Amino acid sequence: MTTMQGTRVHTTTTSPLGELTLVGEDGALVGLYLPEHRRGPVAAGLGERVDDGFEDVVAQLGEYFAGARTRFDLALRPAGTPLQQRVWGLLTEIPYGRTATYGELARRLGGPGLARAVGSANARNPINVVVPCHRVVGGDGRLVGYAGGLDRKRWLLDLEQRVLPTQDGPVRPPHEKLLA
């Protein structure tokens, strides 16, 4: 993605989840928002609309939605507090097709008392799909909270479960103690 220093730009692309808004700054992806995204940016925060510069992001998303990509290789720079940054980093460690609970992530950060903070950071993830906040579930394995809606969260998890047999051998349970 090419942008001038300090210049924020955006574009949109179609996907099985609806129209996605991609936001870039200084050559990095800083936002990926779903339709009706809760806590999404105001239009003025998206920067100028452009048609070029997001080809790699669009290509990798297309591969992901087609089941041909299980990891993204993009320059990312989500803006957030140090705790949010740590949570978003942990999200990228949840393996494709698996889930983790808020409590598991909180323990990785230092204690179960951080579960609410993990939930708050997860809800404010500005780079959906690529930073896989859809892989976080409630303590009992139920789907809870997703800025793009629970049907989209379910769709993403189902996609990853369908792809696993061809990418990774036998299907594994979607929820395991991954980050203990």
How many C-beta atoms surround the C-beta of residue 178 within 10 A? Answer: 16
Query: Is 177 in a helix, a strand, or coil?
Result: coil
Helices (H) and strands (E) in the chain, counts: 5, 6
Distance from C-alpha of 130 to C-alpha of 93, rounded to nearest angstrom: 12
Per annotation, catalytic residue among 90, 133, 137, 156: 133
- Residue 54 is a catalytic residue: no
In 3D space, the residue among 101, 115, 116 whose CA is nearest the CA of residue 178 turns out to be 101
Contact 120, 147 (CB under 8 A): no
The catalytic residue positions are 133
